[in-house]
Amino acid sequence: MGLTRASFNARFKSERTWVILAAVAVLIIVLTTLQWDVNGSQSPYATDVGEIQNALPRWGTLHFTGYPLYTFAGSAWVSFLRLLGVAPASGASLFSAMWGAVAAALLVLLAIELGVPAPTAFLASLVASLTTSVWVYSSLAEVHSLTMALSLATLLLALRFGRSGARRDLLALTLAFTQGVAHQRANLFLAPAVIVLILPKIGVLRRHLLPMLGVTMLAPLTYLYLPLRAWQGAKWTFGEPGTWRGFWTMVMDTKATRVVAAPAGLIQWLARVKGTAQLLDDDLPTPLLIVGLAGVVVLALRGRRRRQGLGLILTALAYWALAMVIWEGRVSDALLAVKLPVAYAAALGLALGAAEVADKWPRLAPATLVCLAAIGAFLLVSHRPRVLEITRDPGAEQVIATVEQVLDEPRPRRPRRPATFMALWGHDYWALTYAQAYRDQLPGLSLVDHNADFRGVLARGERLLTLEKTFYRRPLSWWEGQVGSVALTSAAAGVVEIAREPPLSPSDVPAGPELDLGNGIRVASAGLVKVRDELRLTLYWQAEGAIEQDYSVGVHLVAHDPPRGPSDILQQADSRHPVYGWYPTTRWRAGEIVRDDYLMPIPPGAQPVAVRVGMYLVDWQGQFVNTEWLALPVLVP
């Protein structure tokens, strides 16, 4: 029995209601985990977030392949929200949240197109949106929620064109697919599924080749945004998109040579299978993943929907296979992103399975809805802490606070010199740049990355500073290659000053306890401050002459001074060398003054009386040879 016009309109309105509900529900959920401020997470999910948070408000460009559609649309979105008082980091995350909601709505439409009842499609959409990867990428500034919206739109329009053969559906499909490939090259792996889905109407393509070509050309034209912004002098551009060579490097770089590595043998294949299965289990527990993909297989076995089921199977298999060959020696953002279609396919399969059960056993229809709702509730409760762990990571705030200490340090005896702060290109640099540009922090500080001219910085008489953790990736030898001879000193807790000559003079040393250690080094001053449950120790060492041995630093929090045994040592903050372990004493020059900072938490319930400071060697027999010790009383209010 056919549908009347009135019943068709009623059904359409009902389905449209569920589509809107899915988008709204996902948006509300994502807002509870949204990353509202600058990214501090080191998670592979957040690899490029800081870069995006800085690029979009500047109408800048991103790393390979440039993502011009995302950067142009995202910049417009962020700029509009800034007019309403929304911070750039929040606006960039909201851009992802919006596309996550669109993807949820598209999945409902896709499921309905496959014959799934609207309420079932709605619940399956929530399940997909609550998988770890989809939820994370909808909560922070990344390109992948837009990627999934374009992917789902491609599959939906392929289904519709395969059924209708309408010119409108064909051109819309062409637009979604070509823009998706231009945005993210991995979308090309949808091609086998698209071909299968449109196969009944493949002959129609010949009649519309010219308009299809015109729509297709819109995709590469988006790349003109990259040189345009470079020529306009954008303050944030990646590479050299304003040059002919730089432009084509951005367009043609697919990252394949850097991220794709096929397993070398059976053992590696098995390891990849296991690793990929574990990553997929993080999104959707393996039993649910299997049931969901089985639902897609069941669709392929049904005569009326066999072609659609085959198209979905090809989608899941293509991206599962791609996940198997993406390897950078670690779990990378590329690997996490490429498995997204598998999670969506599994959620869609759960909907198809539920619809099949309800169709064969109508009395079980309510039970299928309850099961899908229970799965969604389980994912909500189990995945939310993990998402918040990433989006609420305080790492960026800690870095910013560390650098702010330098600006707050009093230097009353000498005029304050201009300072240049080097942070490695990546999370720390992006956090500091964002804080300076959009939170009015770090005024007067010149921020540079590791490609700067450091000889020029020092030649201008500026202070050159960096985080102490920078030395793990750029050790002392690297700095010597950059500026020549190097002298180090702490500039604040966690911050190192690099100079060609010792940067401190006696006038920089505050009054404080002194002690000759008896090894050619003296404590010129020592200060101890208690802040909440932490002690902050600042030392000024002075070399009385050339030091022939490398001394380690001992910093002990003690319950009795001197300690009567190991039990009296409550906490230690020893260092292999002074200045966070990076400046051996054999490098010190006669008369050189070196500042050293230590942070020491006070153990809960402890009653410390002093902090003891000294130096020591380990002799050829493995015995400790200690210098004199300076005791600083701990004043507990």
Contact 55, 71 (CB under 8 A): yes
**β pairing state of 610-618 and 630-633:** antiparallel
Task: Work out how many domains the chain is built from and give that number.
Answer: 3
**Same-domain pairing of 463 and 351:** no
Q: Is 165 left (phi over 0), alpha (psi -120 to 50) or beta?
A: left
**Same-domain pairing of 398 and 387:** no
Task: Give the three-class secondary structure for 304.
Answer: coil
Q: Is the pLDDT of residue 370 over 90?
A: yes
User: CA–CA separation, 539 vs 195, rounded Å?
Assistant: 70
Instruction: Decide which of 15 and 487 is more confident.
Output: 487
Count of CB atoms situated within 10 Å of the CB of 547: 20
Q: How far apart are the first and last CA of the chain?
A: 85
Task: Give the three-class secondary structure for 16.
Answer: helix
* Boundary-marking domain end, from 326, 356, 391: 391
By mean pLDDT, which of 208-222, 397-411, 422-436, 461-475 is the weakest? Answer: 397-411
Mean pLDDT (whole number) for 266-281: 93
pTM of the model: 0.94
Q: Residue 366's closest CA among 119, 105, 11?
A: 119
Residue 483 in tokens: 């500026």
Contacts of 78 (CB under 8 A, 6+ apart): 56, 57, 88, 91, 92, 95
**Same-domain pairing of 246 and 384:** yes
User: What pLDDT is attached to residue 413?
Assistant: 55
C-alpha angle 469-470-471 in degrees, rounded to nearest 5: 90
Residue 469 in tokens: 């953790």
* Boundary-marking domain end, from 481, 503, 525: 503
* Cα radius of gyration (the chain): 30
* Boundary-marking domain end, from 367, 391, 415: 391
- Band (pLDDT 50/70/90 cuts) for residue 133 is very high
Q: Is the pLDDT of residue 9 over 60?
A: no
**Same-domain pairing of 48 and 132:** yes
Mean pLDDT of the chain: 94
User: What pLDDT is attached to residue 1?
Assistant: 41
C-alpha angle 144-29-159 in degrees, rounded to nearest 5: 50
User: What pLDDT is attached to residue 2?
Assistant: 47
By mean pLDDT, which of 10-24, 281-295, 608-622 is the weakest? Answer: 10-24
Task: Give the three-class secondary structure for 83.
Answer: helix
Instruction: Decide which of 533 and 598 is more confident.
Output: 598
426-444 per-position pLDDT tens digit: 999 999 999 999 999 999 9
- Band (pLDDT 50/70/90 cuts) for residue 495 is very high
Mean pLDDT (whole number) for 301-329: 89
User: CA–CA separation, 396 vs 430, rounded Å?
Assistant: 9
- How many CA atoms lie within 13 Å of 101's alpha carbon, on the beta-carbon side? 19
User: What pLDDT is attached to residue 11?
Assistant: 56
**β pairing state of 419-422 and 463-467:** parallel
User: What pLDDT is attached to residue 8?
Assistant: 45
Residue 117 in tokens: 């009842």
- Band (pLDDT 50/70/90 cuts) for residue 6 is low
Largest Cα–Cα distance of the chain, in whole Å?
Answer: 102
Mean pLDDT (whole number) for 96-109: 98
User: What pLDDT is attached to residue 231?
Assistant: 96
DSSP string for 490-508: EEETTEEEEESS----GGG
β-bridge mates for residue 624, sequence order: 618
Q: Is the pLDDT of residue 220 over 90?
A: yes
Q: How far is CA 428 from CA 42, 424, 451, in A?
A: 10, 7, 15
**Same-domain pairing of 434 and 381:** no
User: What pLDDT is attached to residue 4?
Assistant: 55
Q: Is the pLDDT of residue 189 over 70?
A: yes
Q: Is the pLDDT of residue 400 over 70?
A: yes
List, edge to edge, every strand of the sheet that includes 446-448.
Answer: 446-448, 419-422, 463-467, 495-499, 487-492
Residue 250 amino acid letter = M
User: CA–CA separation, 568 vs 636, rounded Å?
Assistant: 17
**Same-domain pairing of 464 and 559:** no
Residue 580 in tokens: 């966070």
User: CA–CA separation, 504 vs 376, rounded Å?
Assistant: 61
- How many CA atoms lie within 13 Å of 545's alpha carbon, on the beta-carbon side? 5
Residue 291 in tokens: 């049931």
**Same-domain pairing of 531 and 586:** yes
Residue 389 in tokens: 């762990």
User: CA–CA separation, 466 vs 483, rounded Å?
Assistant: 14
**Same-domain pairing of 337 and 440:** no
**Same-domain pairing of 469 and 407:** yes
Contacts of 48 (CB under 8 A, 6+ apart): 62, 63, 142, 143, 333
Domain with 217 in it: 5-391
User: CA–CA separation, 162 vs 155, rounded Å?
Assistant: 10
**β pairing state of 515-516 and 495-499:** unpaired
**β pairing state of 446-448 and 419-422:** parallel
236-260 per-position pLDDT tens digit: 999 999 999 999 999 888 667 778 8
User: CA–CA separation, 180 vs 177, rounded Å?
Assistant: 5
Residue 229 in tokens: 């912004």
β-bridge mates for residue 538, sequence order: 527, 597
User: What pLDDT is attached to residue 88?
Assistant: 98
Count of CB atoms situated within 10 Å of the CB of 349: 27
User: What pLDDT is attached to residue 258?
Assistant: 76
Mean pLDDT (whole number) for 330-340: 92
**Same-domain pairing of 163 and 220:** yes
Mean pLDDT (whole number) for 452-477: 97
Q: How far is CA 27 from CA 21, 31, 158, 389, in A?
A: 10, 6, 26, 19
Q: Extract long-range pairs of 200-207: CB within 8 Å, 24+ residues apart.
A: 200/162, 200/163, 200/165, 200/307, 201/161, 201/162, 201/164, 201/165, 201/170, 204/165, 204/167, 204/170, 205/170
137-157 per-position pLDDT tens digit: 999 999 999 999 999 999 999
Q: What percent of the chain has pLDDT over 90?
A: 89
Contact 296, 175 (CB under 8 A): no
**Same-domain pairing of 258 and 205:** yes
Q: Which CATH number characterizes residue 574's domain?
A: 2.70.50.60
- Band (pLDDT 50/70/90 cuts) for residue 622 is confident
**Same-domain pairing of 55 and 204:** yes
β-bridge mates for residue 572, sequence order: 556
Q: What percent of the chain has pLDDT over 70?
A: 96
Q: Which single residue is written with the structure tokens 């929304």?
A: 86
